[in-house]
Structure 1
Amino acid sequence: IPAGADTAEPAHYDVRLTVDDGAALHWLPEQLVSARGSDLRMRTTVELAATARLVLREEQILGRHGEEPGTLLTRLTVRRAGRPLLDQELRHGPGAPGGWDGGAVLGGHRAVGQLLLVGPEFEEKPAQPLLLGDTAVLTPLAGPGVLVTAVAADALELRRVLDEALRLTAYR
């Protein structure tokens, strides 16, 4: 839970992951709660070898129960065999572009997450886009992988949605 501080500078949370050929990484960190008054810049950078496999989950909870969120900027950059596979940035809370919590983005939901699955089998059999209930979607990437994006009312519902998405893909 990033909290407010007596500084004008934001907090930083940087993760760098490298997965070699033939290896697999399941990166499933705990949920991040963006508490009121906090200001966090979170960056995850992943370097994958050509035959590496990845399961990566990110979950952000926007504010504790009944409170507004802090400022949160997240960026996920994934390269496979030196080429870009995914580069995505999200901003929530005070200072984010207008509409971030409106119907076209979060629709009043206070939990947002994603599940990224990458592996050579997606080259052999690319996935098709798929709605996963009312608040999640599976989207094939231009390379060998899929991205599940979900919103939910709370942390528990978000975890259930992403766990079910992982189960449905039968990805290990």
Structure 2
Amino acid sequence: MAGVNASARILARCDGRGGTSLPVLAGEGPLALRRTRGSGDTAQVTLVGAMSGPLGGDHFRIRAEVADGARLRVGSAAATIALPGQHKEPARYDVQLSVGAGGALHWLPEQLISAGGSELSVHTCTEVGASGRLVLREEQVLGRAGEQPGRLRSRLTVRVAGRCVLDQELDCGPGAPPGWDGPAGLAGHRAVGQLVVVRPEFAERPVAARVLTAGAALFPLAGPAALVTVVAPDALRLRAVLDEALAELA
């Protein structure tokens, strides 16, 4: 018996009245989508986990498309926990995001927790059109309280106006290449996160690279974009640093 295969899709479009409509909002199995109260011209969607997972052998897919000029904010109701399952194959979680010209997407899910004994590969691929805006946050927590982490491979790719501005991969946990937890890697930290902000203004005024605080740094990307990368001892500290960076950049 194979693992669970589940897909979800969101399509946001301008509604012609100064707001954003959601003509497509569909999820299946563990990927339940709910429209929640937005603000102004921005539609808001919350991902509600209807089942545990992903478990070994599962394959989840989420696609969110923001059409030209539309505005969408997506969050999740709770953390996602990668768990071991009956199947020995790794679980997969693929996220595909696109933002049209003049559109805006805030992609702000809760943490991904890699529980002991699990194995998960995540790939988030994002395409942002000319004059599009993006705020994307990723947070990974290695293990629940008092346990060793599972194996986690996480790749993040961002393209702006057809140009790749970021393509990075994290591989950690049992079986990962040597050094993942050494001084040049996570250095004993158990929470790691990234914040990508794309704003047209950065083309004229790129951010300056600098250290934000211990374990956190800000970098300009090759385009109208910026990256914040953080390692922290726990999820609470990780979120606090990312929130401070987001308030400054966006």
TM range (shorter): over 0.9
Q: Does 1:22 align with 2:99?
A: no
Runs (5+) with no aligned partner, structure 1: none
Amino acid at match of 1:153: P
Q: What residue is the counterpart of 2:183 in the other structure?
A: 103
Letter aligned with residue 88 of structure 1: Q
Distance 1:120 1:70 in 2: 38
SS at match of 1:104: coil
Q: Relative contact order (C-alpha < 8 Å, sep 6+): which is higher?
A: 1
Q: Choose the corresponding residue for 2:234, options 143, 154, 158.
A: 154
Answering whether residue 202 of structure 2 is matched by residue 122 of structure 1, we say: yes
Deviation at residue 8 of structure 1 after TM alignment: 2.0
> What per-residue deviation string (whole Å, max 9, x for no partner) do you get for residues 113-170 of structure 1?
010001111101011101111110001101111100000000001000100111222x
Give 1:123's aligned amino acid: A
Question: How many percent of aligned residue pairs carry the same amino acid?
Answer: 62
What pairs with 1:9-158 in structure 2 (closer than 5 Å)? 9-158=89-238
For residues 82 and 140 of structure 1, the distance between their equivalents in structure 2, rounded to whole angstroms, comes to: 18
**Rg larger for:** 2
Could you tell me the TM-score, scaled by structure 2's length? 0.67
AA aligned to 1:29 is P
Q: Distance in 2 between matches of 1:124 and 1:83?
A: 17
Q: After TM superposition, give the deviation of residue 81 of structure 1 in Å.
A: 1.4
Q: Aligned pair 1:2/2:82, yes or no?
A: yes
Letter in 1 for 2:113: V
**How far apart are residue 49 of structure 1 and its match?**
0.5
Q: Which residue of 1 aligns with 2:11?
A: none
- Farther off after superposition, 97-106 or 19-28: 97-106
Match of 2:63 in 1: none
Separation (CA, whole Å) in 1 of partners of 2:209 and 2:165: 17
Aligned length: 170
Match for 2:138: what amino acid? E
Secondary structure at the aligned position of 1:149 is classed as strand
1:60 is displaced (CA, Å) by 0.1
Structure 1 counterpart of 2:42: none
CA shift, 1:78, in A, is: 1.0
Using the size of structure 1 for normalisation, the TM-score is 0.96
Task: Please state which structure has a larger fraction of its residues in strand.
Answer: 2
Q: Structure 1 segments of 4 or more deviating over 2 A?
A: none
